[in-house]
């Protein structure tokens, strides 16, 4: 199984994790399918293989200001620092649902600045994009896509916001000549936490092609290192790397303004960090679940 | 006719301009309709420009073209002369990125110029990214929901594309985010001799059009009824031809620039590499050729 091959983090003692643990199961799946496990471009961080090629001039990162993409941002900085790469990180954040949700871009900006201060020698740039809210309600197939390719399933089921996100990421990559794009999407917990869990992140039987993006030789440009793991691993890393302050700056809650007004009274709450959250949405429940279940990924568990 | 009322620019000698000149005839029409401007209109080289000292946040649409850059310069000069410190939100559109090189860097250089020239200005930059497919998707294909109801008239929904919605929605977002009191744009009227964008076509001005000079409208387009020759003249009058050359009017696709200058042999910074063929290039050349009447040397 995967062994630490970078100068930070710890070596996971795999036999301490139960065999039915999702992280262990999926890492085993990747490990067994991977021919290039010893590639210098595969960096094993606390059990998880993360692809990064030192020669990249620029990479892009989809960044929401949530716990997952923030952790990926941090880990990419650590890997860049550790490998001595000169890679620029082009961080793209999107303002979404501004009319009715409690998100703000200020939260993402604060986190970006915080990580920037931690790694001052790494070049980074924050790009803030914007999705007009009605795009998220419009079927993707209603757009005149002028030949832009989407998988049939996506075309049939996704909304136009998916195109808007992709177009903005494409633009950021094009502008910076970045080839590889990173994303910090995790998989929903196997136990049903809420009816509104995003379907595209559902716990599922892993298809072979889902493993390819972990391989060095993959021709794909998208790298989603958390795609096959749950948030519990991610939350554990905030403890492992002693980043509790950063963790508290991240925001998972996606409550709408009305819900927050009801819970805290109008004008009595702010949408920054994780201090004031609804506690009821899927993302709040998932985060709480992850905090409760992260113990087996903590370094002390593997000493 | 309008006389200079701020310590900026010069007093136009209206008699030195022929009556059939577009700028003079337009300003005459404005003057006859509203001989007394609002107390917030400042006459800059013959043109009334609105600025309210009480506006603590304003926004300016800046494309890095000659018109919006000149508007920014004039507003920055008024603000500096009046010694006030509003927050200025500069909004740039990023459109057609797949076929046209981004002017983002050009805007960045122009902003640096302003920061150096007007160090006391409080400038914030915002970018509105428009995904290219929205420009060709009819607005009627969009699903508006309970929390994002359409604000458009039925005929606009029927005839406009989705980019119109995207830009309008972004403007609303920015207005709310910064609590903007007044927003500015630098749109001009097409020259009579050239076929340009339909919405900028010269037309007979109505009382409602002219009301701009007597009302405190939240949207101000000071160049809306004048042509680009007045704008280009101001680069000479204010002695900022270096800034003029940083601006870019050409709006042609990259493939045309490849054909004109050779692939990888051009950039979109300033006006060094242009196509010389598009409407905006023709308009700029026309403006340069027709600005002399509006130069200060003709009004001494």
How far apart, in whole angstroms, are the C-alpha atoms of residue A285 and residue B75?
A: 50
Query: What span, in angstroms and rounded, lies between the C-alpha atoms of A219 and B86?
Result: 51
Q: Are A113 and A76 in contact (CB under 8 A)?
A: no
A93 - beta bridge partners? A128
A23 phi/psi in degrees, rounded to 5 = -60, -45
Answer whether B173 sits within 8 Å of A95, measured CB to CB. Answer: yes
Residue in B with minimal Cα distance to A104: B177
Q: Is the pLDDT of residue A269 over 90?
A: no
pLDDT score of A131: 92
* Composition of chain A by helix, strand, coil, percent to 5: 40, 10, 45
Average pLDDT over residues A242-260: 89
3-class DSSP state of A90: strand
Does residue A129 have a pLDDT over 80? Answer: yes
Instruction: Indicate the DSSP class of residue B276.
Output: S
The tokens for B114 are: 């302003």
Q: How confident is the model at residue A102 (pLDDT cuts 50, 70, 90)?
A: low
Q: Which two tokens stand for residue B94?
A: 């990023």
The edge-to-edge listing of strands for the beta sheet with A180-182 is A124-130, A88-95, A58-62, A180-182, A222-223
Q: How far is CA A90 from CA A170, B107, B182, B227, in A?
A: 11, 19, 33, 40
DSSP designation for B56: S
The answer to whether B180 and B58 have CB atoms below 8 angstroms apart is yes
Token pair in block for residue B96: 């057609």
Helix or strand run (H / E) with residue A125: strand A124-130
pTM: 0.86
Q: What mean pLDDT, rounded, does chain B reach? A: 92
Average of per-residue pLDDT across B146-166: 78
Place B282 in a pLDDT band, splitting at 50, 70 and 90: very high
ipTM: 0.82
Asked if B143 lies within 8 A of A145 by C-beta distance, the reply is: no
Work out the percent of chain B whose per-residue pLDDT is above 90: 76
- Contact A57/B at CB under 8 A: no
Q: Is the model's pLDDT at A190 over the cut of 90?
A: no
Give the tokens for residue B99: 């076929």
- Confidence grade of residue A91 (pLDDT, cut at 50, 70, 90): very high
Higher pLDDT, B87 or A194: B87
pLDDT at B197 (0 to 100): 81
Q: What pLDDT band is residue A262 in, cutting at 50, 70 and 90?
A: confident
The pLDDT-based confidence of B253 (bands split at 50, 70, 90) is very high
What is the mean pLDDT of the segment spanning A90-105?
84
Question: Could you tell me which chain B residue has the CA closest to the CA of A159?
Answer: B143
Residue A179 phi, psi dihedral angles, 5° rounding: -95, -45
Q: What was the pLDDT predicted at B150?
A: 65
Please state, in angstroms and rounded to a whole number, the distance separating the CA atoms of residues B161 and B138: 4
Chain A within 8 Å of B120 (Cβ-Cβ)? Answer: no
Rg of chain B over all Cα atoms, to the nearest angstrom = 19
Alpha-carbon distance A237 to nearest alpha carbon in chain B (angstroms): 34
Q: Does position A7 have pLDDT exceeding 90, yes or no?
A: yes
CB-CB neighbors (< 8 A) of A176 in chain B: none
């Amino acid at each position: 199984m995967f062994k630490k091959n970078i100068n930070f983090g710890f070596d996971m003692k795999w036999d301490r994790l139960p065999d039915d643990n999702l992280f262990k199961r999926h890492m085993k799946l990747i490990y067994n399918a991977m021919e290039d496990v010893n590639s210098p471009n595969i960096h094993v961080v606390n059990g998880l293989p993360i692809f990064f090629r030192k020669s990249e001039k620029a990479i892009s990162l989809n960044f929401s200001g949530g716990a997952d993409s923030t952790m990926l941002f941090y880990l990419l900085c650590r890997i860049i620092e550790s490998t001595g790469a000169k890679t620029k990180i082009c961080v793209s954040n999107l303002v979404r649902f501004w009319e009715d949700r409690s998100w703000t871009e200020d939260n993402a900006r604060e986190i970006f600045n915080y990580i920037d201060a931690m790694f001052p020698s790494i070049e980074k740039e924050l790009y803030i994009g914007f999705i007009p809210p009605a795009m998220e309600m419009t079927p993707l197939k209603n757009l005149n896509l002028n030949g832009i390719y989407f998988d049939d399933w996506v075309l049939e089921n996704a909304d136009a916001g998916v195109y808007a996100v992709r177009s903005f990421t494409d633009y950021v990559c094009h502008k910076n000549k970045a080839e590889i794009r990173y994303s910090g999407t995790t998989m929903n917990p196997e136990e049903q936490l809420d009816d509104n869990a995003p379907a595209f992140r559902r716990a599922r039987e892993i298809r072979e092609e889902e493993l390819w993006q972990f391989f060095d030789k993959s021709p794909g440009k998208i790298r989603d290192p958390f795609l096959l793991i749950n948030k519990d691993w991610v939350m554990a890393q905030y403890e492992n790397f002693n980043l509790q302050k950063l963790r508290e700056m991240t925001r998972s809650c996606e409550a709408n303004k009305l819900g927050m007004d009801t819970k805290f009274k109008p004008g009595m709450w702010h949408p920054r960090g994780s201090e004031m959250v609804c506690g009821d949405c899927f993302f709040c429940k998932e985060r709480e679940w992850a905090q409760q279940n992260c113990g087996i990924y903590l370094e002390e568990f593997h000493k | 006719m309008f006389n200079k009322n701020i310590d900026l620019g010069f007093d136009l000698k209206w008699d030195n301009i022929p009556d059939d000149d577009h700028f003079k005839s337009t300003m005459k029409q404005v003057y006859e309709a509203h001989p007394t401007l609002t107390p917030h209109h400042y006459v800059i080289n013959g043109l009334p420009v609105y600025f309210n000292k009480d506006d603590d946040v304003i926004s300016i649409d800046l494309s890095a073209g000659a018109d919006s850059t000149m508007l920014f310069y004039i507003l920055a000069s008024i603000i500096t002369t009046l010694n006030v410190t509003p927050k200025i939100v500069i909004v740039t559109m990023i459109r057609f990125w797949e076929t046209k090189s981004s002017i983002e860097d050009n805007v960045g250089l122009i902003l640096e110029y302003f920061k150096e020239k007007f160090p006391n200005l409080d400038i914030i930059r915002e970018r509105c990214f428009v995904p290219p497919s929205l420009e060709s998707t009819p607005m009627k294909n969009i699903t508006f929901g309970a929390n994002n109801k359409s604000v458009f008239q039925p005929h606009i929904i029927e005839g406009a594309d989705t980019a119109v919605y995207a830009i309008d929605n972004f403007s609303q977002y920015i207005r709310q985010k910064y609590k903007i009191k007044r927003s500015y744009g630098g749109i001009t009227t097409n020259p009579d001799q050239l076929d340009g964008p339909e919405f900028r076509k010269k037309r007979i001005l109505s009382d409602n059009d002219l009301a701009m000079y007597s009302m405190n409208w939240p949207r101000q387009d000071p160049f809306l009824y004048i042509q680009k020759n007045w704008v280009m003249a101001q680069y000479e009058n204010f002695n900022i031809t270096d800034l003029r050359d940083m601006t870019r009017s050409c709006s042609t696709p990259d493939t045309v620039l490849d054909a004109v200058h050779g692939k990888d042999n051009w950039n979109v910074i300033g006006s060094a590499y242009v196509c010389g063929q598009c409407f905006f290039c023709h308009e700029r050349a026309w403006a340069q050729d027709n600005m002399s009447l509006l130069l200060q040397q003709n009004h001494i």
